[in-house]
Amino acid sequence: MVTPTAAQQQIRDHEGLALLVVAPAGCGKTEALALRVAGLLDRNVTRGARRILVTTFSNRARDNIRDRLRSYLPSPILRDRVFVTNFHGLSARIFRAHARVIGLDPEMELPESDWIREQCLRWGWGWDWITPSEDALRLAKQQALDDARVEAFLQARGARGALQLERQRLTENRLTYDDLPRVAELILANDAVAGLYRSHFGAVIVDEFQDLTPQQLRIVNRIGLGKTTYAGDLAQGIYGFAGAQPAQIDAAIRAECPDVVEFAESHRSSPAVLTMVNSLSGLTGGLTLSSARPESWPGGGLAAGIAFNDPAQEGQWAVAFARYILERAPQQRIGVICRNGPRRETVDAIAERSGLPVYRWDDGVLDTETAKHMKVMLLRLNAAQALASADPVQYLREAAELETIADPDTRRFLAEALVWCLDKLRDGMTAAQVRDRIKVGDQDTLLTAPGLHLLSGHIGKGQQFDWVVVVGAEDGIIPDWRSSTQAARLEDARVLSVMLSRARHGVVVTHATRIANRHGKVRTKQATPYYAQLRAASPTDAAGVHRFLKTADWQAIAAR
């Protein structure tokens, strides 16, 4: 248990049930939410049979807040008075208990993996069919539509692939991840059912409010309108492609909550990193942050911007930067982060040849248990037979003995890894090459392993690294060339802010001035339009980075 900050104490002791907590990355939000739950319980908001509902977006976030709650609550109180779940888990619970209210079978098969993507792979579809079909289904199912109206919606859009998938889903009597919140919203439209949940939960906690879709907010409101604590940060709203609408959600929550508590002290990042993050706050809607203990950061940290001739020079520098750090502080973690995977390919190739411990976060295997199953399966897999089988997804499931695994999270992670594996096999990789890509060891996960980590901006949200190199900071990458609206460009600014704020000691933003396309034609590229303000806030260049590294107190850095 840690000593609460003044803001955390304010959240714990706040009397009202409706509260907005604005908490940027690294400011102690999870601790504050655990304190909030403890404070609500102390004030007896769960008298009688009532409980507190705590909702998150991922299993990792769910487990993280549950671990923090164990520091404040005895196990029987946590078990009996608090229900911690993610949105899909909450929706599944509502469906299983009340499916018949909307005429559905409560025994329908619930999702344990991305069935939509798996089905597309079974049918041998390419990305020209997969992407628009997934987009159309997501758009349809983030509305309060029953099955018949979903089909009518897809027909009106001429979404043939999505219609084929939807009809197959109904034939198999199953729900997908997008179906779960849809059916939960339809069920909660019944006042009697909604009343049961409002009575059962004396208070609601929502983590990462900026990631809510309007549908998810409607679900929360049916259960906890006027008694919900929302925590998050508008500057981290980067899931517009998945239906999140941060500005709209923020406005709705502010109308609901009469009180707002803001965190402005970062416990994660050095003063130098925060200076660069703060330079974007006018675009992201984020707070201006200060370091909780600026004197504790060796050298005050590092923030810099560097231009390179091309991605090869950029990649060589990034890998050399990582090597220099790891030789002096072997337990540190360096994240090389790019707005998208393809722009990072040159860095990836150089990193793979470097001899450093390298981890690719977009390779689909994040934990040791999944890695163990995948490595065993790939060691004996006949890739040609898998690809030639009538159902390659099922072939891989049987090869990995998925049905023998009882733990639901292990099953889900393994099922997702098998889809990633099939993608790689279809791209021409051998089973041995896929196995070599799995770098998670017997003890380390990607969340803890020291070394060089390669990832995209969205995958890294919620994580932290000792050092971050943001590569590919060119116009057309940040903002993405497809970001044609002001809202989309502002979301890209938030993606950049999220990438920067992963860093603890230091962050370096790099870009290339010339890039060859896939046909070998070289084009001149401009830096991201946000680059000027980043450099104005943090004017350190390559020579400055060199001086910092040469004069740094590496013993102090390794200990921080």
CB 133 within 8 A of CB 162: yes
Within 10 A of 229 (CB to CB), how many other CB atoms are there? 29
- Give the Cα separation of 149 and 153 in Å (integer): 6
Contacts of 38 (CB under 8 A, 6+ apart): 12, 69, 72, 73
DSSP summary character for residue 146: -
Within 10 A of 95 (CB to CB), how many other CB atoms are there? 24
pLDDT band at 133, cuts 50/70/90? very high
For residue 442, pLDDT over 60 is answered with: no
C-alpha to C-alpha distances, 508 to 64, 327, 550, nearest whole angstrom? 29, 19, 16
Domain residue extents for the chain: 6-91+188-263, 271-357+450-559, 368-436
For residue 104, pLDDT over 90 is answered with: yes
What is residue 212's predicted lDDT score, i.e. its pLDDT?
A: 96
- Give the Cα separation of 172 and 410 in Å (integer): 23
**Mean pLDDT of the chain, nearest integer:** 93
For residue 144, pLDDT over 90 is answered with: yes
Residue indicated by tokens 């900026």: 210
- Give the Cα separation of 132 and 137 in Å (integer): 9
pLDDT band at 369, cuts 50/70/90? confident
> Which pair of tokens denotes residue 223?
């259960």
Of 305, 316, 263, the residue nearest 288 (C-alpha): 263
The model's pLDDT over 308-346, given as tens digits with 9 standing for 90+, comes to 999 999 999 999 999 999 999 999 999 999 998 889 999
Do 6-91+188-263 and 271-357+450-559 share a fold? Answer: yes
Q: What is the mean pLDDT of residues 37-66?
A: 87
CA 132 to chain centre: 22
Residues in the chain: 560
Instruction: Answer with the residue of higher pLDDT: 443 or 147.
Output: 147
**Burial class of residue 219 in the structure, from the number of CB atoms within 10 Å of its CB (0-12 exposed, 13-18 middle, 19+ buried):** buried
- Give the Cα separation of 17 and 3 in Å (integer): 23
Helices marked H in 400-530: 408-426, 431-436, 486-500
C-alpha to C-alpha distances, 49 to 45, 80, 200, nearest whole angstrom? 10, 9, 7
CB 353 within 8 A of CB 448: no
CB 288 within 8 A of CB 305: no
Q: What is the mean pLDDT of residues 363-375?
A: 82
Q: What is the mean pLDDT of residues 28-32?
A: 90
The model's pLDDT over 62-90, given as tens digits with 9 standing for 90+, comes to 888 888 899 889 999 999 999 999 999 99
> Which pair of tokens denotes residue 301?
């940290």
Quote the Cα angle for 18-64-280, to 5°. 70
The shares of helix, strand and coil residues in the chain, as percent rounded to the nearest 5, are 55, 15, 30
Residue 13's SS3 state is: helix
Q: What is the mean pLDDT of residues 50-56?
A: 93
Instruction: Answer with the residue of higher pLDDT: 209 or 406.
Output: 209
Of 17, 10, 72, 20, the residue nearest 50 (C-alpha): 17
> Which pair of tokens denotes residue 457?
């901006």
DSSP summary character for residue 227: S
- 479 cis-preceded (ω within 30 degrees of 0): yes
For residue 1, pLDDT over 60 is answered with: no
Torsion sign (Cα): 31, 33, 35, 41: negative
Phi, psi of 270, rounded to the nearest 5 degrees:
-70, 165
What is residue 506's predicted lDDT score, i.e. its pLDDT?
A: 98
Helices (runs of H) and strands (runs of E) counted in the chain = 26, 16
pLDDT band at 185, cuts 50/70/90? very high
Phi, psi of 88, rounded to the nearest 5 degrees:
-70, -35
Phi, psi of 310, rounded to the nearest 5 degrees:
-160, 170
Residue 409 backbone zone (phi > 0: left; psi -120 to 50: alpha; other: beta)? alpha
Q: What is the share, in percent, of the chain residues with pLDDT greater than 90? A: 79
What is residue 64's predicted lDDT score, i.e. its pLDDT?
A: 84
For residue 412, pLDDT over 60 is answered with: yes
CB 78 within 8 A of CB 46: no
What is residue 410's predicted lDDT score, i.e. its pLDDT?
A: 80
- Give the Cα separation of 65 and 72 in Å (integer): 11
Residue indicated by tokens 């002001």: 486
For residue 387, pLDDT over 80 is answered with: yes
CB 224 within 8 A of CB 203: yes
What is residue 168's predicted lDDT score, i.e. its pLDDT?
A: 97
The model's pLDDT over 239-277, given as tens digits with 9 standing for 90+, comes to 998 899 999 999 999 999 999 999 999 999 999 999 999
What is residue 376's predicted lDDT score, i.e. its pLDDT?
A: 93
- Give the Cα separation of 109 and 483 in Å (integer): 37
Torsion sign (Cα): 303, 247, 213, 61: positive
Say which CATH architecture domain 6-91+188-263 belongs to: 3-Layer(aba) Sandwich (3.40)
DSSP summary character for residue 480: B
Contacts of 547 (CB under 8 A, 6+ apart): none
Of 132, 162, 166, 130, the residue nearest 146 (C-alpha): 166
pLDDT band at 444, cuts 50/70/90? low
Which CATH number among 3.40.50.300, 3.40.50.620, 3.20.20.70, 3.40.50.720 corresponds to the domain 271-357+450-559? 3.40.50.300
What is residue 87's predicted lDDT score, i.e. its pLDDT?
A: 93
Stated as kind and residue range, the H or E segment containing 508 is strand 503-512
For residue 130, pLDDT over 70 is answered with: yes
The model's pLDDT over 217-238, given as tens digits with 9 standing for 90+, comes to 999 999 999 999 999 999 999 9
- Give the Cα separation of 95 and 109 in Å (integer): 11
pLDDT band at 399, cuts 50/70/90? very high
The model's pLDDT over 482-534, given as tens digits with 9 standing for 90+, comes to 998 998 999 999 999 999 999 999 999 999 999 988 777 889 999 999 999 99
> Which pair of tokens denotes residue 133?
């079909």
